[in-house]
Structure 1
Amino acid sequence: MGARLKDGSVSFGPLALARLMPLHLAVNATGQIVNAGPTLQKLMNGQAALGRNIGDVLALRRPPGPLTMPVLLAQHDLALGVVLTSDPTVSFRALVVPTLDGGAFLNLSFGIGVAEAVRRHALTVEDFAATDLTVEMLYLVEAKTAVMDELRNLNRRLQGAKVAAEEQALTDQLTGLRNRRALDLQMKALIRLGATFGLMHIDLDFFKQVNDTLGHAAGDHVLRQVARVLTQETRATDMAARVGGDEFVVVFPNLSDTAQLMRIADRIIASVTEPIAFEGRDCRISASIGVTVSTLYDSPDADRMLSDADSALYDVKRDGRGKALLVGGPLIEGLVGR
């Protein structure tokens, strides 16, 4: 593995050469490769270098063309730009030294493409000479990569936290439905886009009695069950929101068929009227609903529509509860749960 000194010259065995110059090539006078460094052989993805012609392994980078012995010998003592023929993305600077037998010795080094070569061929510090400054560059690249990965991870976590916070800001924490802020944003967006939509304002009947007789835990349970009913009776594209203690609003994008909306309202009333069990007791409520659609307005306005649906709802309550009323239309009888 050591070096031999003789007549002012130094000779190295294959192991010493591999350690000192892992990217070297030695060719004989006919251009046949007689020795190759381990890193160069690794870059060739298992293809044998020994015995092949130099022009089959390396090519000139600029101007592109074949690498021949006359070109090599004409360029001795100069840095020659070459690329791997098997992977032209890997480029080198080659220092060419003629040998006494008419051949040549090439010591290769990476240029600015070292990072790409390391990535594509999974090179490590073991593939470079210990004194090669590329090793220092690799440490910097690895450090930069680690920092960039951590920054990307941090950015993803921050983005996830932002999305979660925004979602929480638009969600009613008790029922999991949307809240008043989300409702306002949805209605403004639909009006801005000129989309048609239906609107229901729902108020629970006899909810105060549940709270007064069975306690607030029972009331919270009832609200969650109502939220479940609203989710089941509406489409995935609809928005159900809790906007007050026992008040809910449902928005139905692209639905202006009043008959269909009234059928949905009847189903909601029927489901809500079913007794809700809580700790061995039945909670009995019903629902009063005011309904309107954007097509009833020349210029839909969110506040006006909500106010109209709210007025219709309280007309229902004065008329006996447990019904749905379409603004501008007849009183539609629903299932009454009094």
Structure 2
Amino acid sequence: MSLPGRTLEVMCPMHLQIGSDGRVRGAGPTLRKLTGERRLAGVPFDEVIDIYRPKRVRNLRDLRALEGRKLQLRLRNGPGRALKGLAMPDGEGGVLLNLSFGIGVVEAVRSHALTSTDFAVTDLAIDMLYLVEAKSAAMEASRTLNLRLQGAMLAAEQRAYTDSLTGLQNRRGLDRALQRLVRAAERFALLHVDLDFFKQVNDTRGHAAGDRVLQRVGQIMLEVTRREDLVARIGGDEFVILLAGVTDRTRLAELCERLVGRIEQPIALDTEVCRISASIGIVRSDPEMASFSDTKTLLGRADTALYTAKRNGRAQYAFHEDGPPKAAL
């Protein structure tokens, strides 16, 4: 019985018709797509396909001997992907060979941009493709949701440790970093900075102007410190700077003088300028000198040094338990 070509194309879109002379008489549309729409009619079948299991097929007689058995083959001029095949006589001395992708259907679909129209409507591959696509869509949606949740969690955590006015770390961020340094027994210095004459800015120019001054001071602190240092606003006009790995007095004194000098420069407020200064209390933590294991003690000693500087005049810095404060030059 001979089937019309249209029937074969719809029911077996990956078929190959081989005549009694061993040459290709026709091919299904999906098979033609895989071969790059190469003209197959009249070409010897062994130049189109390479059948290697259950044994090598070299001619039509070898192929007929394998009728009804599962074949494994490759397209010679197409992708090197293995295909499955089933050969049956066509009743006219030739062979009708029907092919499939087997478990490689998903990869084939992606590689050749195949759609459901490239398969017979009764092919289970269509159902599998729907399941694969549904799973892929669900996994992508889940991945997107997870990324959004992670981003939201990171943003929320960042907000929890950030001062909303200046963008610096807040007291929680400072405590976290300070505890980490203390636990690791690292050398570091803590600078407690309090602005001088800031209250006058708030009283005479308003809180909006005061906020701009605080933002400018935060920017200055970031500019004079290193990227790995931590700058925090812990309330009002109080700031803390953590300097990991730095305990040298000379280096700290130079930093304080540079910081005070920058803060004392006029700050523009619309058509006017304002002038403030800063006092700084310094405490050093060095396991080889005197390891302060209590963060509360460290902050308390820095606060004591700060008020030592303030009692002896403005624009000064003082080291904890180091005697009279030093005036910034």
TM-score (norm 2): 0.88
Superposed, 1:1-338 pairs within 5 Å as: 9-13=1-5, 15-29=6-20, 31-45=22-36, 49-60=40-51, 66-68=56-58, 69-84=60-75, 86-92=78-84, 94-295=85-286, 296-329=289-322, 331-335=325-329
Q: Supply the AA of the counterpart residue of 1:66.
A: R
Counterpart contact for 1:30–1:103, Cα < 8 Å:
yes
Aligned to 2:3, what secondary structure does the other structure show?
Answer: strand
Q: CA deviation at 1:213?
A: 2.1
Q: Work out the CA distance in 2 between the residues paired with 1:35 and 1:229.
A: 79
Aligned to 1:113, what secondary structure does the other structure show?
Answer: helix
Q: Supply the AA of the counterpart residue of 1:11.
A: L
Residue 5 (structure 1) aligns with: none
Aligned identity (percent) is: 44
Counterpart contact for 1:222–1:276, Cα < 8 Å:
yes
Q: Work out the CA distance in 1 between the residues paired with 2:252 and 2:120.
A: 78
Q: Supply the AA of the counterpart residue of 1:76.
A: E
Q: CA deviation at 1:254?
A: 2.4
Aligned to 1:256, what secondary structure does the other structure show?
Answer: coil
Q: CA deviation at 1:238?
A: 1.0
Counterpart contact for 1:61–1:91, Cα < 8 Å:
no
Q: Supply the AA of the counterpart residue of 1:333.
A: A
Aligned to 2:328, what secondary structure does the other structure show?
Answer: coil
Q: CA deviation at 1:39?
A: 0.9
- The unaligned stretches of length 5 or more in structure 1 are 1-8
Q: Work out the CA distance in 2 between the residues paired with 1:91 and 1:194.
A: 65
Aligned to 2:133, what secondary structure does the other structure show?
Answer: helix
Aligned to 1:96, what secondary structure does the other structure show?
Answer: strand
Aligned to 2:246, what secondary structure does the other structure show?
Answer: coil
Q: CA deviation at 1:256?
A: 2.6
Q: CA deviation at 1:312?
A: 0.5
Q: Supply the AA of the counterpart residue of 1:10.
A: S
Counterpart contact for 2:68–2:86, Cα < 8 Å:
yes
Deviations 1:125-172 (A, max 9, x none): 221123433223323322322222222212211111111111111110
Q: Work out the CA distance in 2 between the residues paired with 1:257 and 1:231.
A: 20
CA RMSD of aligned residues (A): 2.4
Aligned to 1:10, what secondary structure does the other structure show?
Answer: coil
Aligned to 1:309, what secondary structure does the other structure show?
Answer: helix
Counterpart contact for 2:68–2:88, Cα < 8 Å:
yes
Q: Work out the CA distance in 1 between the residues paired with 2:154 and 2:127.
A: 40
Q: Work out the CA distance in 1 between the residues paired with 2:239 and 2:39.
A: 75
Q: Supply the AA of the counterpart residue of 2:28.
A: G
Aligned to 2:103, what secondary structure does the other structure show?
Answer: coil
Q: Work out the CA distance in 2 between the residues paired with 1:292 and 1:66.
A: 84
Q: Work out the CA distance in 2 between the residues paired with 1:283 and 1:271.
A: 13
Q: Work out the CA distance in 1 between the residues paired with 2:292 and 2:40.
A: 80
Q: Work out the CA distance in 1 between the residues paired with 2:47 and 2:297.
A: 81
Q: Work out the CA distance in 2 between the residues paired with 1:55 and 1:188.
A: 75
Q: Work out the CA distance in 1 between the residues paired with 2:40 and 2:164.
A: 68
- The unaligned stretches of length 5 or more in structure 2 are none
Equivalenced residues, count? 324
Q: Work out the CA distance in 1 between the residues paired with 2:201 and 2:157.
A: 33
